[in-house]
Amino acid sequence: MRALLLILDSVGCGGAPDAAAYGDEGADTLGHIYERTPEFALPTMERLGIGAVMNVQRPTSNVQHPMASWGRMRELSAGKDTTTGHWEIAGVVLDQPFTVFEKFPDELVHAIEREAGMQFIGNFPRSGTVVLDELGPEHIRTGKPILYTSADSVLQIAAHESVVPLPRLYEICKVARRHCDPFRIGRVIARPFTGDPGNFKRTAGRHDYAMLPPLTVLNALADSGRAVHGVGKISDIFAGSGITANTPTGSNAEGMAAIEKLWPTMDGLLFANLVDFDMLFGHRRNVAGYAQALREFDQWLPTFLASVKPEDLVIITADHGNDPTWRGTDHTREEVPLLLIYGGRAEPLGTRMTFADTAATLAEFFALPAWPVGRSVLTPTEH
């Protein structure tokens, strides 16, 4: 048995009923991309049902009579960050959000510095590329790593690879991870870079250190003897818990190539995240880039679907929104699309009340005990 759970990072579809509480009322990642991009279309995803999910204002012939099951999911957890979204997809609903700081407390910063034997510069919210321009020269001159954050619950540490070698940067981040746990900071991220002032470039050596999650459906699958293969940043998000194999990737293209390579021999769950939508285009409010990345995914999708058999399960969804037309640079609180390919089914799935319905679905598909949170979409229910 094999299943693919594919997360299109940040590809929300608007409409979250509590969006106003997050300052996001009216945000709609996919909807606004359709509105702002002339002649924009996603033929493959529209055939599967994304048009029905979105109620697209400029429907094409592909919108009618979807070929897969389609619906929307609503986040039940408090928060709109990567870790919260993925954990709920895997069956854990958080009633307390991770902590977001604009400036990390001195108590935390000094504790990391003492144990790691170094000092930081920075400690403010910034775009990852902007902070390199601002503090990169000072970092090279002093050897002090750059500490910064974003609107997400993350503590990021940037260092030039020739000044702070990768093993040393990772060691500092592991120290930071331990000290961040009591503060409920979702992730510590190592951000290595290279280059000269005015031309710094972040490298593929990024590594995320997440809090250890409670037990998820991934643990249940792994404990039952099934393979759980993470692609992209999945293993990092779950701190390796419940992951039996891992293929890190640096881009959507690498992620799609990894899926193609691993799928033919897969026995168990392939859990993949395509990050470019969020990292390169959502946070940077780049509508054209986001639209093009969606087109490229849509063009790749038929190649993969040709290898999917009726007995396989494929779930395509997202972890939050990141509307590239929205103010600021933060994620946006949105519902997310849900496309399900299984057994030739093509039926409406309605609006699911929690992302954890994916965990319940995987539990049913792999014949595990019923997951305690969420409802399987494989079980008929009224909507």
> pLDDT by residue (tens digit) across 339-367?
999 999 999 999 999 999 999 999 999 99
Q: For domain 2-96+211-365, is the CATH number 3.40.720.10?
A: yes
Give the three-state DSSP class for 191: strand
Rounded average pLDDT over 11-29: 96
201 strand-pairing partners: 194
Q: Which residue has the higher pLDDT, 374 or 382?
A: 374
What confidence score (pLDDT) does residue 96 get?
Answer: 87
Residue written as token pair 């930071």: 176
Structure tokens at 70: 């389609």
341 strand-pairing partners: 314
> pLDDT by residue (tens digit) across 299-324?
999 999 999 999 999 999 999 999 99
Neighbours of 279 (CB within 10 A): 20
Rounded average pLDDT over 371-381: 89
Query: How buried is 32 (Cβ within 10 angstroms: 0-12 exposed, 13-18 middle, 19+ buried)?
Result: buried
Same CATH fold, 106-207 and 2-96+211-365? no
Confidence category of residue 63, pLDDT binned at 50, 70, 90: low
Q: Which of 201, 98, 117, 115 is nearest to 155 (CA)?
A: 98
Rounded average pLDDT over 363-375: 97
> pLDDT by residue (tens digit) across 207-221?
999 899 999 999 999
> pLDDT by residue (tens digit) across 151-198?
789 999 999 999 999 999 999 999 999 999 999 999 999 999 999 998
> What pTM, to 2 d.p., does this model score?
0.89
Sign of CA dihedral 357, 359, 362, 368: negative
Structure tokens at 8: 């299109």
Quote the CATH superfamily of domain 106-207.
Phosphopentomutase (3.30.70.1250)
What confidence score (pLDDT) does residue 65 get?
Answer: 67
What confidence score (pLDDT) does residue 144 get?
Answer: 97
Alpha helices in the chain (DSSP H): 29-36, 43-48, 50-54, 82-89, 106-116, 128-142, 166-180, 217-223, 234-237, 252-262, 276, 287-305, 357-365
Average pLDDT, the chain: 94
Rounded average pLDDT over 277-297: 96
Confidence category of residue 57, pLDDT binned at 50, 70, 90: very low
Residues 6 and 258: their CA atoms lie apart, in Å, by: 12
Confidence category of residue 379, pLDDT binned at 50, 70, 90: confident
8 Å CB contact between 31 and 11: no
What confidence score (pLDDT) does residue 263 get?
Answer: 98
> What residue segments make up the domains of the chain, in order of their start?
2-96+211-365, 106-207
Judge whether residue 50 has pLDDT over 90: yes
What confidence score (pLDDT) does residue 66 get?
Answer: 84
Sign of CA dihedral 238, 241, 243, 245: positive
Q: Which residue has the higher pLDDT, 261 or 127?
A: 261
